[in-house]
Amino acid sequence: MKAELHEISVKFGTFCAVNNVSLSFAPGEIHALVGENGAGKSTAMSVLFGLNTDYQGNIFINDQLRRWKSPADAISAGIGMVHQHFMLQETMSVLENVILCSEPVNKLGFVNFAAAAKTVQNLIDSYDLQIDQTQKVGELSVGQRQAVEILKLLYRRSEFLILDEPTAVLTPNEKEELFQSLSNFKASGKSIILITHKIDEVMMIADKVSVMRSGNLISSKLLKNTSKNEIQQNIIGGKLPKPIKRKQMHPKDIGFEMQKVIIPGLATGGKPISLKVYLGEIVGIAGVSGNGQGSLVEAIVGIRNILSGNMLLSNENISDQDVSARRKIGLSYIPEDRQSVGLALDASVLENSCVSQMRNKQFSNGYFFNLQHLFKFSEQLVSEYDIRVGSVKSKVRTMSGGNKQKLVVARELEQKKQLVIAENPTWGVDIGAINKIHQELIKMRDMGHAILLVSNEIEEIMGLSDRIHVMANGQLSESLNSDQVTANKLGELMLSRNEPALSEKLEMMRP
Amino acid sequence: MTQRLYSLLAASILLLIIFASLIWLADADFFKSITAFFKGAFGGRKYAYLLVTISRAALITGMAIAALIAFRAGLFNIGGEGQLVIGGLASAFVAINLPFGGPAGIFLVLLAGMIAAGVWAMLAGIMKLWLGVPILVGTLLLNYPARYIASYFVSHPLRDIASGMPQTHLIEKSLWLPLLPGTRLDIGFIFILFIFCIVLIYCYRTVGGYEAKMTGLSIDFANASGLKTKKISLKTLALSGAIAGLVGAIAVLGIHHRFTDGMLVQPLYAWTGIVAALMVSLIPWAVLPAGFFFAAIHSGASGMERTADVPKEIAIIVQGMIILFVASKVPTAFNQNIGSGK
């Protein structure tokens, strides 16, 4: 199937999200659409998918002019999209999820599950996907869930697959599987659009690359006619940032320590976790997601109780303290999930930026808040961290992913607490925001704070940490010096226990 | 935004058509009915009907405020009815047994209603925190014991047997809420206006109101940010219940001067209040006009029945239609965590 966007423009009020963009997509081709968050990639694709019907310009499918009223039109024309945030029913089986809303029904309105199962199994076999269709989606790993999303499209006979940031949540293994599937689709003549900002992946798998920047199409070339450097330059529109400089530190005081802590939900055979973070260093915890990092972080922050052991922050035992007491003693926390843990999306920027400081003296007298100071404070955060938003009264929901994350980072770092916990702080954000966030973390380190960085990205761990632990199957490795360890060695440790972590299973049993 | 405006317009036109056809079915004159409706809601000799509307609006708005406070903190407290009844009963009990009257007495009676209803609402919170009963279920189920406890008390221990009705003795006159000079309107609505102002300040300016809102928007966010969400939930429920209790006490001291079985349940004050709060998407300042709107429909309907011979039920049907339109909006009010985009 051939598809073409012809001189598409989308305006939100006076803001031009997509400006006169023309793109063409050919069958049997993987077309990568790259650019920073907020560059207009997703908006352009939402036009093609029928999510956005308020646009100027034309869509041609197989050289015919089409105009969708809704995504349903686009789907019936063979276009399918996998969103960054999956849209699955966790309590239903894979099969039920796949056929949802296009079930094969007989005359009496009963669903013919046998026939559906056969069709779905055929698809699974022919594209070599690693899923069991009888399993509940809630029991699947993130990578498998994504495969289910893709299966949904295949079941609807989509000839044209749009994938929005598909690798953001995947482990290296799962990524390979996904790319294998994508190659299979390509071989069968399907057309694939990959919305991404990871250039390495583009170089690996794409046939054609189009770069967007602030609503404009900067370039659209075959991969063989361009280079990594050129793509990168096109994305950020200037020179590449320099690698981050860091101060030589000689940490000697402990900022945070875990002494033989046992965390429920981490099946380590009762093996306790010990960990030290000195003031003035970044300790990285590497690992494939779902190996217990989440529970570890929750235990440190105080959202999850521990069974035994001690946690010392500023020489105070915080094991029995609640979150607010720990934050007061000296902890700040950048959560992985900015959508529901890091931010309240329907609250304003101002309300979000003051949440854990509201009871501090300058912010309020304990009963009434000092609105003037709140405005001053949040406006200062917005300008210092280059957060792009209309006004501090705007709802956080209206901001792009990178700006949301910058807001979380700004709020947490601004408190200048002794221990900073950063959990996948750059998940799904654009290069500009990644650089900014990394710089701020290093700055905190150089100022003598203790930073615990939990990340699934090896590059991030290697680039920022002074010392590294690897977490696999609920266990923490010995600490490794980052200048003596290689990515391969880390990868090996991360994957040393390849079977699904028991902790993951226990996690699911948790109410 | 424009889409919302269109749907509002469409709903209004649809309502008007339904209203007109119902009047036609009742074989009445449309314009006469409409005039009667407006007179019944806002007119009367010396604006007597308007005062009735205001008095009713005060109770409905009070219940709307009670609902709003809980809803914005993510607590689906639909037990306003039970809290209202408990508040009314407790205040009637105290009023009957109080040895003195006057402003101090009135204050004590109102306080008793608020405390009793606040504790009653907190029961649902305790059930949630220690037994895991969802707030929605807990508050709803607590309506029934409240209603029947009140029935029992006014039919047996507190019953005014001579009156022949399941009701308490008349309250001492010095405890009645004073009337506005020259009218038959008691000052209960001023208490509600006062509470309304306090709640506006609470919502827009206080740390407590802010923390409750954040908890309602995302409990995970509130927990991770160090807010004491359990305490916030309990406090908010108590506050919501206390306001419902105050409404009950005002109804007892201002309008009925005794507690009669069913007097707070039958007029659907609590449920109308919930609908009023939802209709304005939990915007604090808007509950006042919303409460007034529903009160006006009721008084207008009575007026229509008196003068135009149109059954009162027609207005109730229209109100039901409005509730239906609102109900289709409820899911969005409670499902704010579904993300769009990134």
Are A7 and A20 contacting, i.e. CB atoms less than 8 angstroms apart?
yes
- Residue A503's pLDDT band (cuts 50, 70, 90): very low
User: What pLDDT does residue A511 have?
Assistant: 44
> In this complex, is the C-beta atom of A87 within 8 Å of any C-beta atom belonging to chain B?
no
A428–B342: do the CB atoms touch at under 8 Å?
A: yes
pLDDT exceeding 70 applies to what percent of chain A? Answer: 93
Please name each of the domains of chain B with its CATH number.
29-331 (1.10.3470)
Looking at beta carbons, which residues of chain B come within 8 Å of A345?
217-218, 336-337, 339
Report the DSSP beta bridge partners of residue A277: A256
**DSSP strand pairing (A64-66 vs A254-262):** unpaired
Selecting from B220, B228, B342 the residue whose C-beta is nearest the C-beta of A400 gives B342
pLDDT recorded at residue A53: 87
Q: Please state the rounded mean pLDDT for residues A421-429.
A: 87
Give the span between the Cα atoms of B212 and A229, in whole angstroms.
Answer: 50
**What pLDDT was estimated at residue B342?**
28
Distance CA B267, CA B251 (A): 12
- Beta-strand relationship, A281-286 and A254-262: unpaired
In chain B, the residue whose alpha carbon lies closest to the alpha carbon of A400 is: B342
Q: Is B223 on the interface with A (CB under 8 A)?
A: yes
- The answer to whether B305 contacts chain A (CB < 8 Å) is no
**How does pLDDT run across A295-328, given as a tens digit for each residue?**
899 999 999 888 889 999 988 999 999 999 999 9
Query: Where residue A108 falls among pLDDT bands split at 50, 70, 90?
Result: confident
Task: Mark yes or no for CB contact B214/A337 under 8 Å.
Answer: no
Say whether residue A346 is in contact with chain B using an 8 A CB cutoff.
yes
At how many degrees (to 10) do helices B207-217 and B48-72 cross? 70
Question: In chain A, which residues have their Cβ closer than 8 Å to the Cβ of B208?
Answer: 367
Among A303, A340, A351, the residue with its CB nearest the CB of B337 is A340
* pLDDT of A227 strictly over 60: yes
pLDDT of residue A499 exceeding 60: no
pLDDT tens-digit readout, B221-230:
999 999 999 9
Q: What is the dihedral of CA B5, B7, B9, B10, to 10 degrees?
A: 160
Asked if the C-beta of B110 comes within 8 angstroms of chain A's C-beta atoms, the answer is no
* Cα of A327 to nearest chain B Cα, Å: 7
Cα(B272)–Cα(B266) distance, integer angstroms: 11
Cβ neighbours, 10 Å, residue B45: 6
Interface contact flag, A351 B213, Cβ < 8 Å = yes
Q: Select from B49, B38, B46 the least CA-distant residue to B304.
A: B38
Question: A-chain residues within 8 Å CB-CB of B342?
Answer: 37, 42, 84-85, 400-401, 404, 428
Which residues partner with B186 through β-bridges? B179
Chain B contact for A487, CB < 8 A? no
- Residue A342, chain B, CB below 8 Å: the answer is yes
Assess contact for B214 and A308: CB atoms under 8 A.
no
Closest CB to B224: pick one of A85, A301, A428. Answer: A301
Return the closest-CA partner of residue A217 out of A435, A57, A442.
Answer: A57
∠ CA(A41), CA(A47), CA(A48), 5° rounding? 90
Please tell me the distance from the alpha carbon of residue A167 to that of residue B229, in angstroms, as a whole number. Answer: 35
How far is the alpha carbon of A12 from chain B, nearest alpha carbon, in Å? 13
Q: What are the chain A neighbours of B213 within 8 Å (beta carbons)? A: 347, 351
- In a mutational test of the A interface, the residue from B203, B220, B221, B228 whose CB has the highest number of chain A CBs within 10 Å is B221
Residues in chain A within 8 Å Cβ distance of B333: none
A324 contacts in chain B (CB < 8 Å): 226-228
Residue A322 contacts B where some CB pair is shorter than 8 Å: yes
A144 CB within 8 Å of a chain B CB: no
Whether B227 has its CB under 8 Å from any CB of chain A: the answer is yes
Task: Count Cβ atoms below 10 Å from residue A107 Cβ, excluding itself.
Answer: 5
Q: Chain B: give the shortest CA distance to residue A40, in Å.
A: 12
Contact check, Cβ <8 Å, A322/B226: yes
Closest CB to A369 among B207, B222, B336:
B207
Whether the per-residue pLDDT at A491 is higher than 80: the answer is no
What sign for the dihedral angle of Cα A405, A411, A413, A418? negative
Report chain A's C-alpha Rg in angstroms: 24
SS3 per residue for A230-241: HHHHHHHCCCCC
CA distance B149 to chain A (A): 36
Q: Are A262 and A304 in contact (CB under 8 A)?
A: no
CA distance A396 to A411: 13
Q: What pLDDT sits at residue A269?
A: 58
Q: In what helix (H) or strand (E) does residue A12 lie, and over which residues does it extend? A: strand A3-12
Cα separation, A284 vs A460, in Å, equals: 9
Q: Are strands A467-472 and A79-82 parallel, antiparallel or unpaired?
A: unpaired
CA–CA dist A436, A420 (Å, integer) = 16
- B334 CB within 8 Å of a chain A CB: no
Look at residue A115 and give its three-state secondary structure.
Answer: helix
Name the residue facing B218 among A42, A340, A364 (closest C-beta). A340
Contact of A38 with chain B, judged by CB distance below 8 Å, is answered with no
Cross-chain residue pair B226–A326, CB shorter than 8 Å? yes
Cβ-contact A454, A275 below 8 angstroms: no
**Residue A223, φ and ψ in degrees, nearest 5:** -60, -40
Q: Give the residue from A195, A339, A363 with the most B CB atoms within 10 Å of its CB, the best one to mutate.
A: A339
How far, CA to CA in Å, does A498 sit from each of A455, A502, A503, B65? Answer: 18, 11, 13, 56
Question: A213: which residues sit within 8 A by CB, 6+ positions away?
Answer: A35, A36, A39, A234, A235, A236, A237
Q: With beta carbons less than 8 A apart as the criterion, state whether A306 and A486 touch.
A: no
Q: Determine the average pLDDT of the residues in A236-250.
A: 66
B224 in reach of chain A (CB within 8 A): yes
Please count the CA atoms within 13 angstroms of the CA of B209 that sit on its side-chain side. Answer: 16
Q: Determine what percent of chain A is predicted with pLDDT higher than 90.
A: 34
Sequence-ordered list of residues with C-beta below 8 angstroms from that of B279, at least 6 positions apart, any chain: B290, B322, B326
Identify which has the larger pLDDT, A41 or B252: B252
The pLDDT value recorded for residue B328 is: 64
Quick: pLDDT tens for A378-412.
999 999 988 888 889 999 988 888 889 999 999 99
The residue whose two tokens read 């799962």 is A174
Say which residue, B255 or A507, is predicted with more confidence: B255
CB contact (8 A) between residue A344 and residue B341: no
Instruction: Please identify which residue in the block is written with the tokens 């407290």.
Output: B77
Q: What is the pLDDT of residues A184-214, one digit of tens each?
A: 889 989 999 998 877 788 888 999 999 988 7
Phi, psi of B77 (to 5 degrees): -80, 95
Amino acid at B160: D
Q: Are B66 and B277 in contact (CB under 8 A)?
A: no
CA B137 to chain centre: 19
C-beta separation of B250 from B177 below 8 A: yes
| Beta strands A450-455 and A281-286, pairing class | parallel
- CB distance from B330 to chain A under 8 Å? no
Q: Write a three-state SS string for chain B.
A: CHHHHHHHHHHHHHHHHHHHHHHHHCCCCHHHHHHHHHHHHHCCHHHHHHHHHHHHHHHHHHHHHHHHHHHHCCCCCCCHHHHHHHHHHHHHHHHHHCCCCHHHHHHHHHHHHHHHHHHHHHHHHHHHHHHCCCHHHHHHHHHHHHHHHHHHHHHCCCECHHHCCCEECCCCHHHCCCECCCCCCECHHHHHHHHHHHHHHHHHHEHHHHHHHHHHHCHHHHHHCCCCHHHHHHHHHHHHHHHHHHHHHHHHHHHHCCCECCCCCCCCHHHHHHHHHHHCCCCHHHHHHHHHHHHHHHHHHHHHHHHHCCCCHHHHHHHHHHHHHHHCCHHHHHCCCCCCCC
A404 to chain B, any CB pair closer than 8 A? The answer is yes
Q: At what angle do helices B48-72 and B229-250 cross, to 10 degrees?
A: 170
CA closest to B230 among chain A residues: A322
Structure tokens at B306: 């008196």
Q: What is the pLDDT of residue A267?
A: 58
Q: Which amino acid is at B69?
A: I
In angstroms, the CA A44 to CA A40 distance is 6
Q: Please give the structure tokens belonging to residue A291.
A: 């190996």
Q: Residue B218 and residue A341: Cβ atoms within 8 Å?
A: yes
pLDDT computed for residue A294 by the predictor: 87
Confirm or reject contact between B338 and chain A (CB < 8 A).
no
The reply to whether B225 touches chain A by the CB within 8 Å rule is: yes
- pLDDT, tens digit (0-9, with 9 covering 90-100), for B230-244: 999 999 999 999 999
Contact B337 A358 (CB under 8 A): no
CB pairs A-B closer than 8 Å = 91
ipTM of this complex: 0.82
A367–B208: do the CB atoms touch at under 8 Å? yes
Do the chains contact at B341 and A369, CB–CB below 8 Å? no
Show residues of chain A in contact with B336, CB under 8 Å.
345-346
Judging by DSSP bridges, how do beta strands A281-286 and A467-472 pair with one another?
Answer: parallel
B207 CA: distance to closest CA in chain A (Å):
5
**Strand segments (E) across A263-383:** 273-278, 281-286, 308-313, 316-317, 331-334
Closest residue in chain B to residue A165, using alpha carbons only? B342
- Reply yes or no on whether the pLDDT at A333 is more than 70: yes
Domains (ranges, CATH) in chain A? 3-236 (3.40.50.300), 254-509 (3.40.50.300)
Please report the beta strands in A129-231, taking only residues with DSSP state E, as ranges in sequence order.
160-164, 191-196, 208-213, 216-222
Alpha-helical segments (H) within A362-456: 371-384, 401-414, 431-446
Mean pLDDT per 10-residue section of chain B, whose length is 342 residues: 70 82 83 88 87 94 97 94 96 94 93 97 94 94 96 92 90 91 90 96 94 94 94 96 97 93 91 89 90 90 86 81 68 39 29
Closest partner CB to A347 (pick from B205, B208, B217): B217
Q: How many CA atoms lie within 13 A of A260 on its CB side?
A: 3
Of the residues A169, A350, A355, the best mutation for testing chain B's interface (the one with the most B CB atoms within 10 Å of its CB) is: A355
Residue A463 Cα, gap to closest chain B Cα (Å) = 26
Chain A residues whose CB is inside 8 A of the B214 CB are: 344, 347, 351, 355
